[in-house]
Structure 1
Amino acid sequence: MSPDRAMHGIDGRVPPSAREITTGQANRVWSVAGPTPYILKHYDDPNRAANEAAALRLLARHRAPSPQLLAASSGSSTPPWTAQTALHEEPVSVDRFLADLAEPLAAIHRIPGTHFGRLAGARQHHSWSDYLHDRLHTYATAAPALRATARLLHQEVAASDNAIQPVLLHHDLQPGHLLRQPVGSRLLIDWELATFGDHRSDLARLAVRLDLDDPTPVLAVASRPDPTTESQLYLHWRIHLLADAALSTDRAVRERAAKRL
């Protein structure tokens, strides 16, 4: 047992008094009371567990607005898990979401990356275009009917600016993942999809999660607009739509994304 787990008495098992608060499909989540209250997450995918643990460690080093990692499983644990500080704040309301997201997102996007792609548990890339080509290949393989769309996006990626410096991306921005603290600051939660890459990809995925017909409203939270921001936003928006159309387990989501493409 690692020192942090010994300190908090956390071993990944669900205590009898734990209260399940699972809301998604991929993980199970419990709120655990006690001398050190914490949130326990069990993951279906060990790579997502490793990635979230790596993201939370990085965020702590930069004192960024996120939960703290109390403990995490080793690579052999089944199921893989993390324990994070318990948060009792309420999610920011939908009508305030974009306005309240700007400040914490700017702080996240100031954290530099060491490569492109997931922080842990996945292939690392030397350039953002390499990462995008790899993702497009994955989507086209999963959904052969969308190969023509993927081919066009490959061409656009190849023709776009490759001089991107990687920064930390949350990559799952949506209402419910932004919490309001009593003192007024905001926290972002659920970091299992965190990636190093182009900050405009975060905005584009946000537009998909908000179910927008046009991604430009999310530019309200852009911290570093430049002449290419809007065109790159549209490119990344279509890539994320293709991801949903190819990989979503929800048929309605797949069909809606394919229609927008």
Structure 2
Amino acid sequence: MNGIDGGVPPDAPEISTGQANRVWSVTAPTPYVLKHYGDPSRAANEAAALGLLADHGVPGPRLLAANTDTTPPWTAQTLIRADPTPADRFLDELAEPLAAAHRIPGTHFGRLAGARRHRSWADYLHVRLTAYAVAAPALRTTARRLHQEVEASQHPIQPVLLHHDLQPGHLFREASGTRRLIDWELAAFGDEQSDLGRLAVRLGLDDPTPVLALVDRPDPTAEGRLHLYWLIHLLADAALSTDPVVRARAVARLSRSA
């Protein structure tokens, strides 16, 4: 788009929320959100996810421009003119846009772009579990147990688009009623239950089962898969979170589930 080159206009207010990325709201000539990434693979992944949403007619931010090869890598996205959905309405409002995303079929397993593609969902999970164990050697026993549970799972997985960072603050409802999910940099192709497991972690649930209400007709294996992914996402927080409070809570929940 003309006039967008990844540079920060001097009058653009920063709206970053303390994460690895820096984000600005740009007002002229056309309002947009400018996002600079600490990790180029996340920039490439979010750009790919926004393109996929547009291709399938799923509401979300529209990608206006991007360059993932510069330093820093960046994307420019349409500004969502709405407030985040209130926490007490989040699950009710989330069901429709999440179902729309989960109807988008995947071409492989794992991140959309900027990272390794995996031959199977189990392969992707094993790689993630290995990374968590390396980052947190004290949790290797937990990682080993989850490796075994992944290996024992026999449910065939057809990959679909996952947001993989569902939480209050990432869902907006416009005055027209259109609901839009933002922040797609962690998007992946995989089992839809993994999105729900991650959501249960972000909501601080001690039992992930309530989020199954987001699925119209869960199959008989859904609850077991959800519980497994919930534990895997807890392990991710316990091993990788930079917030000591988040890390401690994840360790505590893993201990209670052992």
TM range (shorter): over 0.9
**Rounded Cα–Cα distance in structure 2 between residues aligned with 1:185 and 1:93:** 15
Residue 44 of structure 1 aligns with an amino acid whose one-letter code is G
Answer whether contact 1:203 1:222 (CA < 8 A) is retained.
no
Once the 2 structures are TM-superposed, how far is the Cα of residue 163 of structure 1 from its aligned partner?
1.2
Equivalent in 3, 8, 14 of residue 20 of structure 1: 14
How many residue pairs were aligned? 254
Equivalent in 59, 62, 69 of residue 68 of structure 1: 62
Q: Which residue of 1 aligns with 2:226?
A: 233
Q: Which residue of 2 aligns with 1:122?
A: 115
Q: Which residue of 1 aligns with 2:124?
A: 131
Answer whether contact 2:132 2:235 (CA < 8 A) is retained.
yes
Gaps of 5+ in 1: 1-6
Q: 2:214 matched to 1:221? A: yes
The SS at the match of 2:36 is strand
**Rounded Cα–Cα distance in structure 2 between residues aligned with 1:118 and 1:223:** 26
TM-score when normalising by structure 2: 0.97
Gaps of 5+ in 2: none
- Judged with a 3 Å threshold, the aligned counterparts in structure 2 of structure 1 residues 71 and 86 are, in CA distance, closer, same or farther, namely same
- Percent sequence identity is 73
The SS at the match of 1:245 is helix
Once the 2 structures are TM-superposed, how far is the Cα of residue 216 of structure 1 from its aligned partner?
0.9
The SS at the match of 1:20 is coil
1:173-206 alpha-carbon deviations (Å, 9 max, x no partner): 0000000111112000000000000000000000
TM-score when normalising by structure 1: 0.95
- Judged with a 3 Å threshold, the aligned counterparts in structure 2 of structure 1 residues 19 and 142 are, in CA distance, closer, same or farther, namely same
Answer whether contact 2:43 2:68 (CA < 8 A) is retained.
no
**Rounded Cα–Cα distance in structure 2 between residues aligned with 1:42 and 1:223:** 37
Question: Aligned-residue CA RMSD in angstroms?
Answer: 0.9
- Judged with a 3 Å threshold, the aligned counterparts in structure 2 of structure 1 residues 173 and 74 are, in CA distance, closer, same or farther, namely closer
In the TM superposition, structure 1's runs of 4+ consecutive aligned residues that sit over 3 Å from their partners are none
Q: Which residue of 2 aligns with 1:96?
A: 89
Equivalent in 229, 248, 256 of residue 255 of structure 1: 248
Answer whether contact 2:155 2:221 (CA < 8 A) is retained.
no
